[in-house]
């Protein structure tokens, strides 16, 4: 059941202030390397799949470190193109209680990946024998060049019969300064896509509608069928998030497949590291689907995977299949039973 | 609206055991430099004011480090007198859950500041063009010398028409070993003061009354008007603190101004670093007053500032105005929204 | 009231991944040295007793470090036999929220202690003037050699009139691979023992009964009298543990002494470091008993000691008598009151 | 004798791998903020001068941290323009013995500073009452925009009668990819400059000559007089560097002033942190000149300052005047004399 | 020129006391995973070869961490058999100046690898298309089981026509407690081997001769030809080591190939981390040979690789081909040339 | 041959800036506890003797930590009197190469120890069965109170027939601000003392002479016989220190016993941590003398012990007897021989 999954996207450097300090208070930073694709592949590699990243990284010490980090996660790095000047990065100042976390991005538009071109990638060779190709909406947002690149690769993958998984990840801020209409690019890409991760807000944006005042589930059950039909999608999935107390959060997963909505249980937990937790969900869905779980199992597995991704360090999920089913079975249990 | 605020008081070295260890369990300590005045100025500097510390610090590597630390907080250090032997210090062993934090003080009475004399300070020059001078009750408690010094400086500041803000900070333990009656010194100083931070317990001590069995707000509304009138104060402010669960705390701010009590909302949160959180409140009040907020805004801003000061590392508040208003608007929200 | 207490058992190296990382995510480990006996003696040493460890440790740098660590805890190390090849160790990956902690043991059966023999110990000399000898059920589980050793030492201690305290600590996993019936060894040892720590599950195992469907207290009150009579025990004690929310735990202690069950209050708290918290309870019971507290005081003191042991770093309890009584008096209080 | 010195240039983030690891081996980085101007001002601030940085820094957490860091060094930050997207950065992997250090630059051309324009700076106001303005050749190299900016600011400063100090810092690599002739820009700027730091290689580049086979001092004594006369410079200074053993380095400073070359003693030492050591020299020259030392004292002070800058952490010199004279007096002495 | 190289051997956990402390002085350890085979493959992977480790590692968190670490080094881990109880480990207390480093081994004989059997490995499949198989003499020393396993695997590899590289690594201490004659096993294995790493002491041991009083080169030139002929070896290589001052060391490499001895230059350097530096040499020889360098180039490259391995952190060499040639060209150069 | 040795003196907190940073550059400090007496006992405990510290330490967390630290070193702490306010401390900024280390003392005169009185100590009980009592000249320097206390204890020890060892440690700076003549107190104490550590400078001070222009050995051979006779001393010992290169130091030990001067070999080494290295020498002398080594062995052992104390972290020597003899035998050897 081992499948070959690749992700096309950017590798980012994460520079985190340790110990709940702020950037002005620290002399040290924790460094790691992530990105939506990296995170999804990290989890899928942990689940036993053969994974590889399609991206471009500079040919210097920073690039070497990024690649070593990806290999540590179990991701194959032979496909990575080397060149360009630098990798994008973000600074993370973790919040505490009512103090929210702060993310500050460095330069991104001119990174090795964001300036890479279709010709940099030996696409047909890279996509050979690939079962699933994953990419995300941020690639659409960065610049015209990355948009075109993403669309070209998606089209070629579609022609080659690869199952395309797309994470909407619509971030209005990233589009703000560009004089383009984001919706048209989403529409273009969604016509290529087979499966998609989307919240009710993403759906509103894509359909150009608003759905005020209704409960989240109502919105989802109204909007997702329209999206699914419009773009001939096989499956749409996502999570509903609630803050339950000052300390705890709750999430519930949903998968819309066939004509049915499947919801997971609601999981309540404390967050340790939220970044990448959504990728924990999407990789769980992909794994469940690739290994022929029932839809109920898929959504339960994926949601518990996302819960664990909130409780582990770093953007990239590292929990094992056993860890995840154990949370499904004992959702409230924790702490060492020596 | 940038104002010039100075604080007269001691700079302390904080030596904290990291990672919830105890002093017997650690080989390393986190070091920083703080004090009531430093904390108040740190916040006010962050809010855009021109701040400077009036104190005495030894002319050695430790003194240099303290000054560099204050500069990092945005506090001007040109006024600081150099000399004497050492700076006071305290050791902090942070508690966890039901295990309380422990504070152990080193020697203090013979520090550079506590042995400084009126003649060490070029007072008239230091107080020139100052809008607000802040000092706190601990200075009264340390020794006869610091008491006399504080009173002399307060009197001169009053003569020069500077708005004097005093934080009662009555700590019975600090007075215990001295054969004097603390109340008389508080009375002396309060006659010079314009605005004052005070809890219901401070008020009882100052008036020499007890108010058992009544709710905190009742006590405040009974006692503060008497204090305000007796000492012709312009404003009295403070916070009411409650533990809501084993994990969370609540605080609510109050300002008694004119004839009215103004209360903030009650904020519930988990504590990361409590020391200096009261200074987060008082600096919020000062800023609100200096920038002509409404009394309701003042108390809300100051209380939210104090809440954030509970959630940030170190004694000295570092949150921005935007951070604070964001908490006022979303009191229960937290965690990264990537 | 200073008593002489010794413990016979293994010293383990604890290698902990810091900052809630996993082993694959870390380049550093926190190292300390513990074990049931070490933990019990650490607490008793803190309470003012004269304590010493009876064990065998290799004669190399690792052994020296273990001994230095024990001395730091206040445990005398002159009795420790030096020799053999290594000390057992375990890796601790601390969990967070719904993610449970993971413990991975290294090799243990061939450690210095586990290959030590009766002749290695100058037993009569080591047991001279000892008031209490403590050992635990893990020693029965490791191998035939350690079982025989433990039984031989227990018998000799009994002959010498020393009060024998035994912590059942029945761990089915440790017995799994051995082709022996654990119950018979427990029966053998319990006939030598004076006081014993035991849960309702231990009691079921020892009596070979099951008690499904009943509440824990009912089970205890049914089973412990049978055990106590069968093995002529003086006292049986233990704790009842409940998870109250996703964040908090509750424990309640019990002592069955004379014909009566005594229960402590239930304490609610958040866990910082669970390993060794049970040893915090048993050492509290031993101290209370040695210093002639009332049974109600004993169980309250021991339970609060265990609560604090959950909130302090490391396996070995380090709280003082004052710390513990303070929790008894203010069970919900926490955080710094500066 | 306190003077007002400003520097115009870029603030860089330095991300250093600790403990002689490489980027692939580390999970943490030491972070600080530096740059030629910052380094020069750090030293001059330590010597008692009034210093301020003229630069542009983004208005986010990273910018705040950079500013706090500069304040800690004693540099005034009120002149700093806020805006743009990010600050340039470099990664430092420190070498050991025969393994050289590696520096990897991140993106720089589109940083806040490098995209800043003349109109961003309130130049006349910033240059008011300034005694010395320092800038360096790297600003010429980055892009046409920074070149034009530097030349415009230098011209205005010259018009205002400010003493202009220029550090050649010619780095062929930075010019490589640009289709321009660097020498012409150097010629343009040198006509504005009063004092200049230059090696024999810089001189060859500026004059477009080569001087093979000759000893360094011969080259200097041949070339610098030509440069000095051609650009009507007041003073040219620099250091000669030799590796004396596998472990130790030697440097000797020179100042060419009036018609005479003045050389310092040769200092032999082990390097701890080389970056910024040249700025230790140039700030020493500036201080010596501003405080009217003799030329021999100037070159001795500056060279010893540079030596100490090789032995202290970070790019920015932090030694005191006393530290420096002590090295002049005891050049081979070291280690604690308790 | 990319070749496929595998190593058969043990993966060890290295637990290092940081900052030149001793085990009794530390609360933290740096953890990494190495072994002769790992080190050789780490370097060869860095040089662009396809490498994989043949070993057995436990199926738990520690095993996962070891595998992630190997992947980070670029070594493929798909061949690794999972099972058994633990991996061997050693503690490293780094020395300083005249204080030598101390290595303390934990249990090793019963590790996953040392208890693995021929049947655990799918040998023919693992050895398919392999160009070089590397293993070392320590495997002969641990126990009868590992000896038999090593010999069986070597024989099968030989039958399959794989070039066998053997590192003698004769360590008398490891053989001491076993009642066997080590020489006979070395003779057995050397008859299978193609290339071999050997010092003059190894040669004396293998031939059962002594060669007192002669210089090292004389001994090598006398003994290696006898060994080479006796066992029909293709090549023998090694290094000569000298301490040149209290701070510096020197090494010189030699290769005996055909009928000629080829010596590298002597390199003088300061040691940062000596463990694994010999593996830096042997991997350099293998790489040189696989890529058809001249013998002089091979020995120069390998020796410089070993020099750099002394100056980088960790057992496993990580320098690049460019790094190594740069040391060959500038043997005494060091430190940052910014 | 196990002897009982006690030391009377102060326990200091050492707060060290890690990684060659300065106090202004650090957010963390390494903390340990030392003092001349502690250091001497640490070594003697390591050599197998029964050691205990006679001192006074505050009854708070800091005092507990100091005691735990002493226990870790193997020093008995039961004799320590608890009370007073704080312990003295010093800050250590380690130098690098030509940059010297800096020591900054905190308050000391009013520490628990320095304000302790004869009546605080149960002297006769503390001195029972003691073979050697060690104390040092710093105790004479701090204040009149500590002088009187030291003299009283020395006298009582002498009456009880205990061998008194005194380390002159004359530090002019400590006496500067006091209006007394230090020599008279040294004379008083030396009349009680049996053995003494003294340099040629100490001897000059004690005899009130100067010996300019002569080589150190000449001075020693001239002055020590006069001192020895004047105060009827049994033995005088010390070290001669030279800097040999920019990186290395040399020391040579001497013992003047009977009528003969015995010199050790000269040892050359690099310093890692100089503080306490003199105590490494004096404890080596005491051990050699107590175990009846020959004088040549004594001085060789003690000097090598001091050499190692320069190469180990912390003030307190921790090397073993084997470590030390190994340096005597291989004075230039170093680094790991795996």
Cβ–Cβ under 8 Å, residues A202 and A186? no
CA distance A267 to A263: 12
Does B269 contact A101 at a Cβ distance shorter than 8 Å?
no
Interchain proximity F311–E98, CB inside 8 Å: yes
Evaluate whether F333 touches E98 at the Cβ level (below 8 Å): yes
Report, as an integer, the average pLDDT of B82-101.
Answer: 95
For B61, the closest chain D residue by CA position comes to D320
Chain C closest-CA separation from residue F268 CA (Å) = 26
Q: What percent of chain D has pLDDT over 70?
A: 97
Binding partners of A (≥3 Cβ pairs within 8 A)? B, C, D, E, F
- Tokens 């809008």 locate to B131
Q: Is A74 close to E71, i.e. CB distance below 8 A?
A: yes
pLDDT value, residue B336:
40
Phi-psi region of C327 (alpha: psi -120 to 50; beta: other; left: phi over 0): alpha
Average pLDDT rounded to a whole number, residues B92-102 = 94
Average pLDDT over residues C6-26: 97
Q: In this complex, is the C-beta atom of C29 within 8 Å of any C-beta atom belonging to chain D?
A: no
Residue with tokens 């560009």: A178
Identify the burial level of D120 via C-beta atoms within 10 angstroms of its C-beta, where 0-12 means exposed, 13-18 middle and 19 or more buried. Answer: middle
Is E71 within 8 Å of A69 when comparing Cβ atoms? no
Residue tagged 């542009």 (tokens) = D56
The pLDDT value given to residue F26: 97
pLDDT of res. A335: 46
Which two structure tokens, joined as six digits, stand for A293? 């779980």
The pair of structure tokens assigned to E305 is: 């690789």
Three-state SS annotation for A115-158: CCCHHHCCHHHHCCCCCEEEEECHHHHHCHHHHHHHHHHHHHHH
> Crossing angle for the helix pair F216-230 and F200-207, nearest 10 degrees?
50
Q: In the predicted model, what is the mean pLDDT of residues F141-170? A: 95
Q: Which of A77-81, B227-231, B333-337 has the lowest mean pLDDT?
A: B333-337
Distance CA F25, CA F22 (A): 5
Confidence of residue F336 (pLDDT cuts 50, 70, 90): very low
Nearest CA in chain A to C270: A335
**Residue A248: how many other CB atoms lie within 10 Å:** 17
**What is the rounded CA–CA span in Å between residue E163 and residue E160?**
9
Q: How confident is the model at residue E247 (pLDDT cuts 50, 70, 90)?
A: confident
Question: What does the pLDDT read at residue E178?
Answer: 83
- E 65-104 residues with CB < 8 A to A: 68-69, 71-74
Length of chain A: 338
In whole angstroms, how large is the CA radius of gyration of chain D?
19
Best mutation target among E24, E25, E27, E29 (most B Cβ atoms within 10 Å) is: E27
pLDDT in tens, D207-264: 998 766 789 999 999 999 999 999 999 999 999 998 888 788 999 999 999 889 999 9
Instruction: Say yes or no to pLDDT of B148 above 60.
Output: yes
Which chain A residues have a beta carbon less than 8 Å from that of C101?
Answer: 335-336
Is pLDDT at D296 greater than 80 in this prediction?
yes
The radius of gyration of chain C's CA atoms, rounded to the nearest angstrom, is 19
Q: Which of F23, F60, F111 lies nearest to residue B61, judging by beta carbons? A: F23
- pLDDT tops 70 at residue E338: no
Average pLDDT over residues F313-322: 96
- Locate F317 and state its tokens: 């020597």
Proportion of chain D above pLDDT 90, given as a percent: 88
Q: Which residues, numbered 230 to 289 in chain C, qualify as contacts with chain A under a Cβ-Cβ cut-off of 8 Å?
A: 243, 245-247, 249, 271, 274-275
Chain B adjacent subunits, 3+ CB pairs under 8 A: A, C, D, E, F
Backbone dihedral angles phi then psi of residue E180, each to the nearest 5 degrees: -135, 165
Q: What is the structure's pLDDT at C211?
A: 67
**Whole-angstrom Cα distance, residue E60 to residue E86?**
9
Any C CB within 8 A of D24 CB: no
Indicate if the pLDDT at residue E55 is higher than 90. Answer: yes
Task: Please list the ranges in chain A whose pLDDT falls under 50.
Answer: 335-338
Dihedral sign of CA atoms F80, F82, F84, F89 in order = positive
Dihedral over Cα of A210, A213, A215, A216: its sign: positive
Q: Which chains touch D (3 or more CB pairs under 8 A)?
A: A, B, C, E, F
On the question of pLDDT at C59 being above 90, the answer is yes
Q: Does residue A254 contact residue A261 with C-beta atoms inside 8 Å?
A: yes
* Tokens matching residue A326: 């154990």
Instruction: Report which of D287, D319, D315, D307 is spatially closest to residue D239, judged by C-alpha positions.
Output: D307
Is C203 in contact with C173 (CB distance < 8 Å)? no
pLDDT of residue B308: 97
What residue of C is the nearest CA neighbor of B93?
C336
pLDDT given for residue D209 in this prediction: 87
Cβ-proximal residues to B184 (8 Å cutoff; 6+ apart), any chain: none
Please report where in the chains the tokens 């401070």 appear, as a residue. B202
* pLDDT value for C245: 80
User: CA dist D151 to D51, D169, D176, Å?
Assistant: 21, 16, 20
Partnered with residue A15 across adjacent β-strands are A31, A91
Across the range C239-252, mean pLDDT stands at: 89
Residue with tokens 């009680």: F192
SS3 content of chain C, % helix, strand, coil (to 5): 40, 25, 35
Identify whether the C-beta of residue F290 lies closer than 8 Å to the C-beta of residue F1: yes
A–C interface: beta-carbon pairs under 8 A = 80
- How far apart are the CA of A76 and the nearest CA of chain E, in angstroms? 10
Phi, psi dihedral angles at E108 (to 5 degrees): -135, -40
Query: Helix (H) and strand (E) counts for chain F?
Result: 12, 14
Q: Which residues contact E193 (CB under 8 A, 6 or more apart)?
A: E154, E164, E165, E166, E231, E233
Residue F333 has pLDDT above 80, yes or no: no
Query: What number of CA atoms fall less than 13 Å from residue E124's CA on the CB side?
Result: 1
Q: CA of E235 to nearest chain A CA: how many angstroms apart? A: 33
Across the interface, which of D272, D313, D334 has its CB nearest the CB of F100?
D334
Sign of CA dihedral C294, C295, C300, C301: positive
Instruction: Tell how strand F163-167 and strand F195-197 pair up.
Output: parallel
| Mean pLDDT for chain E overall | 94
* Dihedral of alpha carbons B151, B152, B153, B157, sign: positive
Q: Are A312 and C19 an interchain contact pair (Cβ–Cβ within 8 Å)?
A: no
10 Å CB burial of residue B208 (0-12, 13-18, 19+) is: exposed
CB contact, 8 Å: F27 with chain A?
A: yes
Q: What end-to-end distance do the CA atoms of chain F give, in Å?
A: 34
DSSP 3-state assignment of B302?
helix
* Best CA proximity match to A140, nearest among A183, A106, A111, A97: A183
Strand partners, C268: C250
Mean pLDDT computed over every residue of chain D: 94
Contact A7, A41 (CB under 8 A): yes
Q: Which of C94, C313, C315, C336 to mutate to test the interface with B (most CBs of B within 10 A)?
A: C336
Measured between beta carbons, the chain C residues lying within 8 angstroms of A72 are: 24
Q: Which two tokens stand for residue B182?
A: 């603390």
Residue pair E228/E207 in contact (Cβ under 8 Å)? The answer is: no
Predicted pLDDT of residue F244? 81
Q: What helix, strand, coil percent values describe chain A, rounded to 5?
A: 40, 25, 35
* Residues pairing with A267 in the sheet: A251
* E116–chain A nearest CA distance, Å: 24
What is the residue-wise DSSP string for F124-151? HHHTTT-SEEEEETHHHHH-HHHHHHHH
ipTM beyond 0.90?
yes
Q: What is the tens place of the pLDDT at every residue in D80-93? A: 999 999 999 999 99
Q: What is the mean pLDDT of residues E153-171?
A: 96
- pTM, two decimal places: 0.96
Would you give the distance in Å from CA B261 to the centre of its chain? 21
Contacts of F271 in chain E (CB under 8 A): 97
CA triplet C287, F55, F33: central angle to 5 degrees? 85
B103/B95 Cα distance (integer angstroms): 10
């Amino acid at each position: 059941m081992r499948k070959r999954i690749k992700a096309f996207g950017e590798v980012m450097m994460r520079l985190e202030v340790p110990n709940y300090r702020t950037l002005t208070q620290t002399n040290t930073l924790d460094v790691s390397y992530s990105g939506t694709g990296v995170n999804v592949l990290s989890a899928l590699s942990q689940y036993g799949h053969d994974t590889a990243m399609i991206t471009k990284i500079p040919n210097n010490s920073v690039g070497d470190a990024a690649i070593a980090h990806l290999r540590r996660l179990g991701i194959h790095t032979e496909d990575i193109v080397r060149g360009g000047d630098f990798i994008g990065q973000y600074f993370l100042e973790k919040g505490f209680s009512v103090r929210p976390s702060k993310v500050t991005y460095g330069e991104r538009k001119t990174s090795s990946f964001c300036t890479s071109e279709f010709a940099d990638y030996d696409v047909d060779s890279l996509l050979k024998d690939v079962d699933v190709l994953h990419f995300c909406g941020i690639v659409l947002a960065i610049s015209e060049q990355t948009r075109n690149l993403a669309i070209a690769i998606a089209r070629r993958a579609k022609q080659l019969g690869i199952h395309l998984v797309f994470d909407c990840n619509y971030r209005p801020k990233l589009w703000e300064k560009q004089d383009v209409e984001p919706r048209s690019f989403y529409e273009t890409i969604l016509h290529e896509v087979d499966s998609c991760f989307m919240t009710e807000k993403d759906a509103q944006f894509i359909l150009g509608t608003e759905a005020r005042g209704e409960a989240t589930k109502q919105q989802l059950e109204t909007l997702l069928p329209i999206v699914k039909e419009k773009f001939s999608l096989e499956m749409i999935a996502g999570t509903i998030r609630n803050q339950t107390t000052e300390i705890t959060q709750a999430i519930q997963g949903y998968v819309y497949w066939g004509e049915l909505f499947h919801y997971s249980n609601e999981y309540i937990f404390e967050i340790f590291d939220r970044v990448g937790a959504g990728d924990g969900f999407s990789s769980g869905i992909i794994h469940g689907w690739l290994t022929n779980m029932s839809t109920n199992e898929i959504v339960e597995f994926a949601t518990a995977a996302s819960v664990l991704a909130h409780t582990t360090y770093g953007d990239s999920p590292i929990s094992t299949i056993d860890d995840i089913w154990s949370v499904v079975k004992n959702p409230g249990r924790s702490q060492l039973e020596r």
